[in-house]
Amino acid sequence: MRFSLFCLLVFLSTTILAQGEGFKFIPPENFEDVTPPPPPDYSNAYYWAALPEKNDMADLCPSSLSHNQDSTTVDVFYVHPTIYGGEKEGQTQWNASFADTTLNKEVDERPLKYQATAFNKAGRIYAPRYRQAHIYAYYTENKEAGYKALDFAYQDVKAAFEYYLEHYNNGRPFIIASHSQGTTHAGRLILELVDNKPIQEQFVVAYLIGIPVPKDTFKTIPVCQSSDEINCFCSWRTWRHGTYPDYYDAKKDRRFAVTNPISWKTDTEPIRRKENKGSILFKFDKIKKGFVGAKVHEGLLWVKRPPNPVTLFFGNNYHIGDINLFYVNIRENAVRRVKSYYKRGD
């Protein structure tokens, strides 16, 4: 629980997608004031946003690229970010329901399509649906309620991963990838079920993106220091160059792991945008080469505002673009680390 609780305390009342008071619909004050939605059955494909045998959004890729899900010998367990945000009437539960087909579609058409697909060249995508916590869990002053909502969501992610290991994995190497709330859960999952456990032998790498992750979170899984290192994790939060979160504390934030997703190093050397092999913004099929560069700076990843900014760049927090801005670099890096995994015995 240490990882999930830490991330909750760091992000409560901070900026992720919007200010807490801006939510149109929020849950009751106490977690116990609502009846939680029914649990998932991960033996039923309905409760998976992506499975190799399903025709789903994780099978897509821009037309100039290709996926490798039919022949790869590696799996990717992907945990999506918060989509349940109190923007629509009825979004007043602490945790989302699987019966919300509109929400399920949004998960498929947004993070599954624009994030999970970055990994389908390296492995087969397994992406569980889960009773995600309302985004307000990160903002509420009732920290206990927020933590309970996130813990409730985590139990689904854990159950999905355990089902995956028992019924789908068959001894294959695996990557864990996540964003935002997904990282809150994926980090805890690695800490409890992978770190210093026998299954770590199959672990390739983790991409824990969009949530601050302390460098020493895990016992035996360090921060990746190069582009081909395995049995390690990468992490970053993207902000406009020269800006900081309102809650920023230099002393504390320097403890967080920050990987430059262009160089795949943790040093502070700025990487020019021409080294960025491709970003994907609103048009999935359009790859924008050299869109932004990146620089690691005191617990943050800084990118300069591009010459012709789109809506994404009107503010200072580029959280929504943490993966999309470096889509092709991430894609190629995941493949590189898989190759490194298989060469380790040579």
Contacts of 36 (CB under 8 A, 6+ apart): 93, 94, 95, 131, 152
Tell me what pLDDT residue 38 has.
Answer: 96
CA angle 119, 123, 125 (to 5 degrees): 75
Tell me what pLDDT residue 149 has.
Answer: 97
Residue 20 has pLDDT above 60, yes or no: no
Tell me what pLDDT residue 17 has.
Answer: 37
Residue 33 has pLDDT above 80, yes or no: yes
pLDDT, mean of residues 260-272: 98
List, for residues 226-245, the tens digit of each pLDDT value.
999 999 999 999 999 999 99
Confidence of residue 48 (pLDDT cuts 50, 70, 90): very high
Tell me what pLDDT residue 346 has.
Answer: 60
Tell me what pLDDT residue 249 has.
Answer: 87
> E strands along the chain, which residues?
48-50, 75-79, 124-128, 174-179, 203-209, 232-234, 238-240, 279-280, 287-288, 295-297, 300-303
β-bridge pairing 75-79 and 124-128: parallel
Q: Where are the domains of the chain?
A: 2-261+332-343
Contacts of 282 (CB under 8 A, 6+ apart): 310
pLDDT, mean of residues 146-154: 97
Confidence of residue 22 (pLDDT cuts 50, 70, 90): low
Confidence of residue 9 (pLDDT cuts 50, 70, 90): very low
CB 127 within 8 A of CB 50: yes
List, for residues 276-317, the tens digit of each pLDDT value.
999 999 899 999 999 999 999 999 999 998 877 676 677 899
CB 227 within 8 A of CB 288: no
CB 209 within 8 A of CB 175: no
Whole-structure pTM value:
0.94
